[in-house]
């Protein structure tokens, strides 16, 4: 099991990334890869997160990927959903910890060992 510590430093790191993402929207196919830009990346213990406000057609999504440093392993859903909440995703009920918010899109990316989350805003 991989621990997740949410302290003031972690909250500040998330706030830094969200602030940058607000000022630098991501347009797939037109923007550089966010994971290659440290301004979009927050390291929370051993969780690597990449966050953007992704614009597709006339819609805007919170978009978050969470990866861990072990090939073939993924963040535990409770850790992933808790991290998503830190990034502003709404609707997660921690009394039902294995269920994401109702309007969240959740998938995995096997090539990057990541959980991918999106929520239209």
In a domain, 3, yes or no: no
In a domain, 89, yes or no: yes
The stretches of the chain forming alpha helices (DSSP H) are 8-23, 77-86
pLDDT level of residue 72 (50, 70, 90 thresholds):
confident
In a domain, 93, yes or no: yes
Condensed to tens digits (0 to 9), the pLDDT of residues 22-58 reads 999 999 989 889 999 999 999 999 999 999 999 999 9
- Our count of domains for the chain comes to 1
Residue 61: pLDDT over 90 = yes
**Torsional sign, CA 106, 69, 20, 11:** positive
pTM: predicted TM-score of the whole model, two decimal places: 0.93
Q: How far apart are CA 37 and CA 52, in angstroms?
A: 11
Residue 71: pLDDT over 90 = no
Q: Per DSSP, what are the bridge partners of residue 63?
A: 52, 118
Sorted by sequence, the CB contacts under 8 Å of residue 69 that are 6+ apart come out as 46, 48
| Nearest CA among 28, 18, 90, 34 for reference residue 57 | 28
Sorted by sequence, the CB contacts under 8 Å of residue 14 that are 6+ apart come out as 42, 44, 49, 51, 86, 87
């Amino acid at each position: 099991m991989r621990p997740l510590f949410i302290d003031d430093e972690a909250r500040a790191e998330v706030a830094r990334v969200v602030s940058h993402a607000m000022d630098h929207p991501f347009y797939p196919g037109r923007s550089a890869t966010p994971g290659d830009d440290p301004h979009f990346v927050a390291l929370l213990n051993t969780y690597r997160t990449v966050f953007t406000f992704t614009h597709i057609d006339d819609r805007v999504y919170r978009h978050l990927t969470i990866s861990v440093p072990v090939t073939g392993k993924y963040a535990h859903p409770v850790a992933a959903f808790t991290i998503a909440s830190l990034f502003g995703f709404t609707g997660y009920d921690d009394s039902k910890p294995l269920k994401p918010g109702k309007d969240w899109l959740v998938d995995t990316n096997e090539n990057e060992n990541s959980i991918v989350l999106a929520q239209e805003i």
